[in-house]
Copies of this chain bind each other. A is one copy, B any other.
Amino acid sequence: MTDGEVAVVGVGQSDFGELEGQRVTDFGGRAVREALLASGLDSDAIEEAYVGNVASAAQRQTGVVGQAVLREVGVTGLPITRVENACASSTCAFREAYRTIRSGERDVVLALGVEKMTGVPTDVALRDMSGASDAEVEGPMGMTFMGVYGMRANAYADRFGDVREELADIAVKNHSNGLANPRAHLHLDVDREDVLSSRMIADPIRLLDACPMSDGAAAAVLARGEVAERLVDQPVYVDAVEASSGHYLDGDLEYWREELDERVSRRAYREAGIGPDDLDVVEVHDAATIGELMHYEGLGLASHGEGASLVRKGDVMLDGRIPVNPSGGLKSRGHPVGATGVAQVCELVWQLRGEAGKRQVDGASIGLAQNSGGALLGEGGVSTVTVLSAR
């Protein structure tokens, strides 16, 4: 691999939420147009595209969804490849875009994530999400995603003590951040008591511990370093995109051990030449609040069993030492599964360019995004870690 630098030159994101009456091509096209505009590029500058999406074809919206969305914006006659890795689909699309430029094969590549989860029958949407697990084996055991998060939270508490209040405070923080994000799905002003008294989903995970199902799209235009510098004033450099599946820890119920996050993030830190202390802003996969807390530890922001202390000390608040999920995270921004990874990239780019408005993290120059996907027991799915920087 050549050592050519790669930068994000422009990003775009549709509103996330229940986009009633809108097709994937509508809001997908909107995200791409915004990213092109921010990049100062016409649609014919795109040489290749990778598209993250989980269930568009299955839910009878449209097949070959990348081609359908890109046709809307006049991007035709090029290689368009859909990438799927459950809730990490669009980070994996972003990773392919990054590597395609880094190898020297292309100068300008688009990464798009798009998903419509509302407006289809709920049972179809739920079936397709459960399809991210092993539907023949885990499904009948009741191993839904929130069920597993509940088991993890209990195993964690068993080892390290009760963290229910800190989990609630994570939800409060992310909803507070989301109030400053006009594109977020859930604009809720909630306090700890609201979270702790919300409906139980999978003990101890309550409704307000869990992210919503959303519609939405996010897009990023990546370019070779020299091209990026000609195009925009503030290219945001891609310093690492790492991904791995887990090792399927058969029979190992130590859910607290985020071996996968650790392995992937250590590789990303090495690739980027930084450590966790160098980070100014972080986006993590908080599909449930316990997920965010465990990612603190997996990413090395806190040692094992100490994640909750970051919450108690206020470190992860917008004005704290290491703000996590300034966008509102999956919890508030929403979780259109195939779009979440690139939406994290959008947030980091806005933060690193100083364009994040009321949720801006002061002076942020290095950011990290962590995005998880897929199967459940033993972390068999995928974790991805992306490091971006402004210079």
- A residues with a Cβ closer than 8 A to B are 1-2, 23, 54-58, 60-64, 66-68, 70-71, 76-86, 92, 95-96, 99-100, 102-105, 127-128, 130-137, 139, 243-248, 263, 373-375, 380-382
Contacts and interface: CB of A to CB of B under 8 A. Distances in A.
Contact of A60 (B57, B79, B136): B136
Given A1-B103, A64-B85, A381-B64, A76 B131 contact: no
A20 to B, nearest CB: 15
Contacts of A77: 244-247, 263
A210 B72 CA distance: 32
A244 B80 CA distance: 7
Given A82-B84, A83-B82, A375-B68, A248 B61 contact: no
A167 to B, nearest CB: 26
Copies in the complex: 2
Contacts of A99: 99-100, 103, 105
Contacts of A105: 1, 99, 103
Contact of A96 (B81, B128, B245, B374): B81
A86 B64 contact: yes
A78 B244 contact: yes
Name, among A23, A71, A132, the residue most crowded by chain B CB atoms within 10 Å (CB to CB).
Answer: A71
A134 B86 contact: no
Contacts of A96: 81, 96
Given A81-B92, A85-B81, A104-B1, A63 B245 contact: no
A336 to B, nearest CB: 16
Nearest to A24: B136
Contact of A243 (B79, B85, B374): B79
Contacts of A85: 64, 80-82
Given A67-B375, A375-B64, A131 B81 contact: no
Contact of A382 (B70, B80, B84, B92): B80
A63 B129 CA distance: 9
A135 B263 CA distance: 41
A373 B1 contact: no
A68 to B, nearest CB: 6
A67 B382 contact: yes
Given A63-B86, A135-B60, A244 B103 contact: no
A288 to B, nearest CB: 18
Given A103-B103, A132-B57, A374 B67 contact: yes
Contact of A83 (B55, B56, B81): B81
Contacts of A70: 245
B244 A63 contact: no
B134 A58 contact: no
A127 B60 contact: yes
B76 A246 contact: yes
A27 B16 CA distance: 40
B79 A244 contact: yes
Contacts of A243: 79, 81
B82 A135 contact: no
Given A77-B245, A83-B82, A245-B79, A63 B132 contact: yes
